[in-house]
Structure 1
Amino acid sequence: MHGPAASLPVQTRGFGWIAIIRIGLVQAAIGALVMMATTVLNRLMIVEFKLAAAIPAGLVAWHYAVQLGRPFWGHGSDKGRARTPWIIGGLAVLAGGSLLATQATLMMGGNFPAAFTLAVFAYAMIGVGVGAGGTSALALLASGVAPERRAAAAAVTWIMMVGGIVASAITVGILIKPYSPERVLEVAAGLAAVMVVVTVLATVRLERQAGHFRDEASDAPAPDFRAALSEIWHEAAARRFTIFIFVSMIAFSMQDLILEPFAGLIFDMAPGDSTKTVGQFHQGGILIGMIVAGIGGSAFSGARAHGLRPWVVGGCLASALGLGALGLAAVNGPPWPLGLNLFVLGFGNGVFAVASIGSMMGLAGAGEKTREGVRMGVWGASQAIAFGLGGLLGALGLDAARAGLGDDGAAFQLVFAIEAGAFVLAAILAIKATGEAAMRMGAAQAKREVYA
């Protein structure tokens, strides 16, 4: 082949559903190992070792802060032209960090300064592992999935990640009974070993199946790290999408730490009842929203450049509607249909999450010089910081509102109203961000079709 077409890679079929599920297994392994640190160890520190809740909360926030390194790790997998070693290496570091965090937690009943120092290091390892492994897995997915499958692929991998969290929580909960420190350490070691093996098996020869669903930059050498970041920040579509991800994920995560207290304080639910209600209706709504967006985004949007924009905007607005309704529930209490309200909120969250990830995968391959790894790293870092900051802002905002207003219902209403406003702002940002992203994706797609 001669002429301009010679510079373009041949578009191959790329990943089929089995390959997408295999990447989903990597996400499930990440979810399972993070669950150990954020759920089981959190409970041990607060209940068994009588520590202030701020200690595990600070450690979790620290693991999010470490993930600011995602662009660097993504750039590393770009330059190496092989993502599998970064995925496996990231999961190995995450597994080691999870095991070390367990050991540090079990030491907190004795030498606390030494235990806390070890925990800080362990949670840093967890952040590095999640960042390096997760960014490289999503970059591999972005480079190997055809445009018409991106929404469904995002749904599959997110659902599998949630499934990994749920399955590991149930399994670990069963295996650590009767409780003893030795038993917890044994179960943590077993979980770490199994998840690393699952990751290795899931990624064997997987990268060979990836096609090229991007422009000629896929075969060009990756630019240096500073040049890559400069290109992304000076590209209007990428910059606006980064801002959209940050705002929307703050809105998404502000509710995480206050939904169960809301059910207890306003609806007078016992701890077990509030956990069951929030889990059943909110988390159930998220899963159904993910499934609907995955199927609908693929079936009705296909490979069209603007295909996922209505799903992103609709998910943000549905989430805002659910939060606005919770604000009314806060000042009305029973017999407000709390379960239905939580389901609407969860459904909007699920639709928004999957559509955003699908759009992210499309824009990841639309750079002039940068490749998928560093772009997914930038957006992953924005997401991680927003997650940590959003949860903290929600909890601190509620405390400040309760102290200032002197009424629990009014305090929750104010916080939910702020969250709803953030989702409306995210919807407005999404219209512009996904529009510019679609133009770049459409241009790259048209270029491929011309030279096919």
Structure 2
Amino acid sequence: MKPSGSYLGWFGIIRLGFVQAALGAIVVIATSTMNRVMVVELALPAMLPGALVALHYAVQILRPRLGFGSDIGGRRTPWIVGGMAVLGLGGVLAAAGIAWMTSNVAAGIALAVLAFVLIGVGVGSAGTSLLVLLAKRVDPGKRAAAATIVWMMMIVGFVLTTVIVGALLDPYSAKRLLMITAAVAVAALAITLLATAGLEGQGRSTGEAETEKPPFMKALREVWAESRARRFTIFVFVSMLAYSAQDLILEPFAGSVFGFTPGASTKLAGVQHGGVLAGMILVALAGTGWRGRRFGSLQTWTVGGCVASCAALLALTVGGLTGIGWPLKENVFLLGAANGAFAVAAIGSMMIYASEGRAGREGVRMGLWGAAQAIAFGLGGFAGAAASDVARAVIGADGPAYALVFGLESLLFLVAARLAARLSAAQPSRHSFPSTAGAQLAGQKV
């Protein structure tokens, strides 16, 4: 068994990336494919799948408690595997609920509610413990690159799942959706078991774990009392609120203001995702360095990414006022790149900060930040859509209305940049890309 203090090599990081990809495969079926089926095939109100997706985000307020559970035992693998099993069960029950809706809508909705609660719990358990394991087992000099690899593999999981499921789902039937979802859930659990086997080590001894077992609320209060953890929680919430507020309005904006067809607006979303990947890769390369030289720090990339996101949204504001003729695709690509840069730099910072403060609270810290992110995502999408509706009703013109909303979102990113700068100023040396050579002195590479 590998020693618990050793570092993962690139292959070990990629193995954890497969877990993240498996997690994303189940989530994208539940939040995308099933969303469409309920609205189109079953002709149910769009607010139903919207509420179910919001529910799975709301349930993730339990992330600190789930992270605390993994802190107590000192091992993350059981919580990753268990979370994936719960997530898979939730996905299967959600598909079963949709099938039930065809004959009994109320009963099907009730089962779907339970299913999305399980999906939220599964994502919270597996996702939180996966990040903690990365934080504890990745060489500090590789953390930005590791975050990029894991998140890129999750996006690849999204893409492959939608392509494969889309091909297998035609012609649609509720039974076919249930069988495909069950197959994906089983495959995801199998991948997780194989990817995590022997990767973590023994963790702490049972006796040590028992003597350090505080009540959960005491542990949470201890973490919240830490200035770094508290400020980072606020930063995560504000930045992710700004990040997610654009999700549901970018394509309608392209259609109503620039005349994009549904197919063209969907391709525009692909342009944005391409920008996100480019931004992530840029930060990873900066952190890994070229011929031993690193470019910038995690602080620089986090603050800079937020400022660049602010600038890109201000440009979209101008585009809303200008209309046709504005370079929308280029603008959206730059927005995606700025978002990707700040996001992966923030995740790298998260991996560093998780181990700061009182020992044995890494799961609580990561859970607290994960909960802030989930709540912000749930609120951000709704707030952005609602603000655009209100602005259009008051202003009476689509372009200026969307411009106003994008302008407000840019201000949120400016606030996030300020929060990130203040957060890192206290201990800038801990927030830079650490020296790989120096980090190797702290443990062996696996």
Normalising by structure 1, report the TM-score: 0.91
* CA–CA separation in structure 2 for the residues paired with 1:379 and 1:437: 19
1:81 aligns with 2:74: yes
* CA–CA separation in structure 2 for the residues paired with 1:439 and 1:368: 19
Q: From the superposition, tell whether residues 309 and 218 of structure 1 become closer, same or farther in structure 2 (CA, over 3 Å).
A: farther
* CA–CA separation in structure 1 for the residues paired with 2:6 and 2:82: 28
Instruction: Say if 2:73 and 2:209, in contact at 8 Å, map to a contact too.
Output: no
Partner of 2:230: 239
* CA–CA separation in structure 1 for the residues paired with 2:11 and 2:228: 32
* CA–CA separation in structure 2 for the residues paired with 1:383 and 1:437: 23
1:55-134 aligned at under 5 Å gives the runs 55-134=48-127
1:193-232 aligned at under 5 Å gives the runs 193-208=186-201, 221=212, 223-232=214-223
Amino acid at match of 1:245: V
Of 406, 411, 414, which residue of structure 1 is paired with 2:404?
414
Of 251, 257, 276, which residue of structure 1 is paired with 2:248?
257
1:27 aligns with 2:20: yes
Partner of 1:336: 326
Of 345, 354, 359, which residue of structure 1 is paired with 2:344?
354
1:426 aligns with 2:416: yes
Aligned residue for 2:426, secondary structure, equals helix
Instruction: Say if 2:26 and 2:185, in contact at 8 Å, map to a contact too.
Output: yes
Amino acid at match of 1:109: T
Q: From the superposition, tell whether residues 237 and 303 of structure 1 become closer, same or farther in structure 2 (CA, over 3 Å).
A: farther
Q: From the superposition, tell whether residues 81 and 114 of structure 1 become closer, same or farther in structure 2 (CA, over 3 Å).
A: same
Instruction: Say if 1:222 and 1:369, in contact at 8 Å, map to a contact too.
Output: no
1:53 aligns with 2:46: yes
Q: Which runs of 5+ in 2 are unaligned?
A: none
C-alpha displacement at 1:299, in angstroms?
1.9
Instruction: Say if 1:14 and 1:209, in contact at 8 Å, map to a contact too.
Output: no
1:183-198 aligned at under 5 Å gives the runs 183-198=176-191
* CA–CA separation in structure 1 for the residues paired with 2:319 and 2:150: 33
Equivalenced residues, count: 434
Aligned residue for 2:326, secondary structure, equals coil
Partner of 1:5: none
CA shift digits 1:143-189 (9 cap, x unpaired) = 11111111111111111111111111111001111212221111111
Q: From the superposition, tell whether residues 91 and 303 of structure 1 become closer, same or farther in structure 2 (CA, over 3 Å).
A: farther
C-alpha displacement at 1:226, in angstroms?
1.9
Q: Percent identity, please.
A: 50
C-alpha displacement at 1:258, in angstroms?
0.6
C-alpha displacement at 1:371, in angstroms?
2.7
Q: From the superposition, tell whether residues 46 and 352 of structure 1 become closer, same or farther in structure 2 (CA, over 3 Å).
A: same
Instruction: Say if 1:322 and 1:344, in contact at 8 Å, map to a contact too.
Output: yes
C-alpha displacement at 1:113, in angstroms?
1.0
Partner of 2:274: 284
* CA–CA separation in structure 1 for the residues paired with 2:302 and 2:78: 32
Normalising by structure 2, report the TM-score: 0.92
* CA–CA separation in structure 2 for the residues paired with 1:218 and 1:175: 47
Q: From the superposition, tell whether residues 380 and 180 of structure 1 become closer, same or farther in structure 2 (CA, over 3 Å).
A: same
Amino acid at match of 1:155: T
